[in-house]
Amino acid sequence: MWVVLVCGLLAFGFSAFARDLNDLLFEGADLDYRGEVEKATVRFEQALVMDPNNEYALTKLGILYFKQKRIQKSMTAFNKAIEVDSRNVEAQIWIGILHMKNEQLEKAYQAFDEVIRIDPNNAAAYYYLGTLYNFRRNRIKAIELLKKSSDADSMEPDTHYRLAQAFDLADMVHNALLEYERTLDLNPRHTKALNAKGWIHYNQGEVEKAIELWKKSLSEDAIDRDAALNLAKAYNALAKRALDAGRKDVARTYWEHTLEVDEGNKAAKYYLNRYSK
């Protein structure tokens, strides 16, 4: 009877322990989702008191410490998570990011390379490796890795946008346009892609196409400063072209458009005043 009673008490105690631990993990995740970072941190720290090798709590704490700029504690938590499970690619990626933040690029490379060894289709690791090669000004290798990131995560607009940027930097304009278009196929409201694609058209002399893209970007985000400045530059260029052709009325219209998107534009104000009726 005593044996049965003791076993029953132990089972009850273990059940209560598991329930309390799971409650803390759930509460921590919920608080993090709601943006209550400090409260979430406390819950996961309490969970680690109960279970010091809880891989989920360690990984979440690493991210939460990073959000609070507690970089050393963040690194410690991620390294501990790796000790618990060497195949924890999320913690490994974050270790790479922290090394990049500390400008320890070789250590960052090693971390992301390890992720690829564990998970050969990890889009994030390919992206960060591509970024590292961009830092090293090795555009060809950067594009190769960013292409792998795009292939591994082909339905994610940002992976195509990043690849487009790499092509753009390498002056591979045709490829860049294709990737910006793929980005916009997946997310027609991707303002960074709209702005970047607009610049390609602008530099190719297709000013009206550029204006349409920048107007769409501004319609998606009314405070998109890049789109507003891009439009102002284009309108001023068209105004100058009209002025050179002796079409002052048309030039004035374009300068008015400039002030609609950039009310402080000095060039448009000057020329409107100079060529006012």
- The structural domains of the chain, ordered by start, are 31-102 (1.25.40.10), 121-185 (1.25.40.10), 207-277 (1.25.40)
Which of the residue ranges 24-33, 53-62, 82-91 would you say has the lowest mean pLDDT? 24-33
Q: Do 61 and 85 touch, CB atoms closer than 8 A?
A: no
Quote the CA–CA distance of 89 and 152 in Å, as a whole number: 15
pLDDT at 2 over 90: no
Q: Is the pLDDT of residue 186 over 70?
A: yes
Closest-CA residue to 205 (of 228, 227, 173): 173
The number of helices, as runs of H, and strands, as runs of E, in the chain is 15, 0
Check residues 154 and 72 and name the one with the higher pLDDT: 72
Query: What pLDDT digit, counting tens, does each position of 105-146 carry?
Result: 889 889 988 988 998 877 778 778 887 877 777 777 777 777
Q: Please tell me the number of Cα atoms within 13 Å of 94 on its side-chain side.
A: 26
Q: Which residue has the higher pLDDT, 192 or 131?
A: 192
Neighbours of 152 (CB within 10 A): 18
* pLDDT band of 217, cuts 50, 70, 90: very high
Tokens 């300068």 belong to 255
- Euclidean distance between CA atoms 45 and 78, whole angstroms: 14
Which is higher by pLDDT, 60 or 122? 60
d(CA 195, CA 265): 20
Give Cα separations from 159 to 1, 124, 194 (angstroms): 64, 9, 15
User: Using 50, 70 and 90 to split pLDDT, how confident is the model at 253?
Assistant: very high
Tell me if 109 sits within 8 A of 126, measured CB to CB: no
Position 219 confidence tier, pLDDT thresholds 50, 70, 90:
very high
Return the pLDDT at 152.
65
Tell me what the mean pLDDT of segment 53-79 comes to.
91
Q: Report the distance separating Cα 258 and Cα 270, nearest Å.
A: 12
C-alpha separations of 191 from 177, 195, 219 in Å: 15, 6, 10
Q: Is the pLDDT of residue 4 over 50?
A: no
The contacts of residue 27 (CB under 8 Å, 6+ apart) are 43
Spacing of C-alpha 56 from chain mean position? 23
Tens-digit pLDDT profile for residues 11-45: 444 444 445 878 888 888 888 877 888 998 999 99
User: What is the enclosing helix (H) or strand (E) of 187?
Assistant: none
Q: For 59-73, 94-108, 139-153, 208-222, which range has the lowest pLDDT when averaged over its residues?
A: 139-153
Residue 9 has pLDDT above 60, yes or no: no
pTM: 0.56
Residues in the chain: 277
Query: For all residues of the chain together, what is the average pLDDT?
Result: 83
